[in-house]
Amino acid sequence: AAPGSVEPRTGVTFPTEASAGRSLLGVGLRKTSVLGLKSIDVYAFGVYADGTDLKQQLMEKYRKFSTSELKENAELTNDVLEQDIQMTVKLQIVYGRLSIRSVRSAFEKSVGTRLQKFGGQDTKDLLQSFVALFKDEYKLPKGSEIELSRESNHVLKISIGGEEVGSIQSKLLCRSILDLYIGEDPFDKNAKDNVQENIASILHS
């Protein structure tokens, strides 16, 4: 098999490198619960970052800390979210009956909460106009691959099945999306911890 990391609960493998030489830092699972009862595995994900950007933006500030101090350092994650560091989150859908309607409402909830938290109330209309672009006729069957990437200068790029479907320059939106995976209340705590550990070791390499 090609080198990579397997997300253990779904068996999805993520390659150790994403496009443009970004390295895999952690893998995880995005779940949801229906009616607060049944838990559904929705997608597996892999978080990648450009090692050179990490060093350039963060080394100066964090070199004085040991690796174990860095693993616990909340400010480090905050800086990763804020700075102009190229990152990619690859998603692979594992839920077989995902409707665009539920993608829309999940997005409103997950990303919407973050937009409000970091940007304030006036992001609401923008969010509405964005989710309106998720048309009902789109399909995201099991196995679909989505890439969310932050390009330099805070450009968010979204690709589905290797095809770019949109991009927008917004520091707030980039931050809000990455926060789902490595922020304060992440989808998968274990994935977040692995990402932070790997960032710590990159900063000491």
Whether residue 40 contacts residue 59, with contact meaning beta carbons closer than 8 Å, is answered with no
Q: What is the rounded distance in angstroms from the CA atom of residue 173 to the CA atom of residue 148? A: 11
17-25, 59-67, 120-128, 197-205 -> range binding ligand DAO (CB under 6 A): 120-128
Distance, C-alpha 193 to centroid of its chain: 14
| Of the candidates 98, 108, 160, 103, the residue with the CA atom closest to the CA atom of residue 129 | 108
Please pick, from the candidates 52, 72, 168, 185, the single residue that binds ligand DAO as defined by CB under 6 A.
Answer: 168
Q: What is the rounded distance in angstroms from the CA atom of residue 86 to the CA atom of residue 81? A: 10
2-10, 13-21, 74-82, 168-176 -> range binding ligand DAO (CB under 6 A): 168-176
Please report which helix (H) or strand (E) contains residue 198, including its range: helix 189-203
> What is the sign, positive or negative, of the torsion defined by CA atoms of 132, 47, 28, 97?
positive
Closer CB to ligand DAO, residue 58 or residue 173? 173
Both tokens assigned to 115: 């937009």
Please pick, from the candidates 23, 102, 113, 116, the single residue that binds ligand DAO as defined by CB under 6 A.
Answer: 102
Per-residue contact track with ligand DAO, 38 to 77, x per CB under 6 A? --x-xx----------------------------------
Please state the φ and ψ torsions of residue 144, each to the nearest 5 degrees. -60, 140
Q: Closest approach of Cβ 175 to ligand DAO, in Å? A: 9
Interaction between residue 155 and ligand DAO (CB under 6 A): no
Q: Closest approach of Cβ 205 to ligand DAO, in Å? A: 31
Q: Closest approach of Cβ 7 to ligand DAO, in Å? A: 15
110-115: Cβ within 8 A, 24+ apart: 110/180, 111/173, 111/176, 111/177, 111/180, 114/175, 114/176, 114/177, 114/179, 114/180, 114/183, 115/172, 115/173, 115/176
Please pick, from the candidates 17, 55, 126, 151, the single residue that binds ligand DAO as defined by CB under 6 A.
Answer: 126
46-54, 61-69, 123-131, 189-197 -> range binding ligand DAO (CB under 6 A): 123-131
The footprint of ligand DAO (CB under 6 A) covers 30, 32, 34, 40, 42-43, 91, 97-98, 100, 102-103, 106-107, 110-111, 115, 123, 126-127, 130, 134, 138, 146, 158, 166, 168, 170-173, 180
